[in-house]
Structure 1
């Protein structure tokens, strides 16, 4: 399986037009600069690229937590 966390960081960095190194996996999506609409769009792209189903919940607030969720599937 490809590196889930690296893929998520790449997708978010491209979306925000930032360098991947600027994205901290421990920052919340809000701290990174994403709102709920951005997250919905990004989740669809991630599901496609990572071939998975993502059920977001209130606990999934960081890239680390999202990667953990996807890896458990």
Structure 2
């Protein structure tokens, strides 16, 4: 299986024009600097790149939680 966390961090880092090392998987999306519109755009890109369906909920607030969700599918 693809490196889900690595792929997500890469997508977010590119989107925010930051280094991947600057993106903490335990920081909340808002701490990283993402709003709900950003997240929707990123989720579409992640679904394409990871070839999966992502159903976001209020509990999914960090990269780590998003990785867990994707890996459970």
Q: TM-score, normalised by structure 1?
A: 0.99
Cα shift at 1:21: 0.1
In the alignment, what sits opposite 1:44? 44
| Equivalent runs, 1:1-73 vs 2, <5 Å | 1-73=1-73
- Give me the whole-angstrom Cα distance separating, in 1, the residues matched to 2:55 and 2:2: 20
Q: Distance in 2 between matches of 1:50 and 1:70?
A: 9
Inter-partner Cα distance in structure 1 for 2:3 and 2:9: 10
Gaps of 5+ in 1: none
Displacement of 1:16 in angstroms is 0.1
Count of aligned residue pairs for this structure pair: 73
Which portions of structure 1, spanning 4 or more consecutive aligned residues, are displaced by more than 3 angstroms?
A: none
Shift of residue 67, structure 1, vs aligned partner: 0.3
Shift of 1:22: 0.2
For residues 70 and 25 of structure 1, the distance between their equivalents in structure 2, rounded to whole angstroms, comes to 14
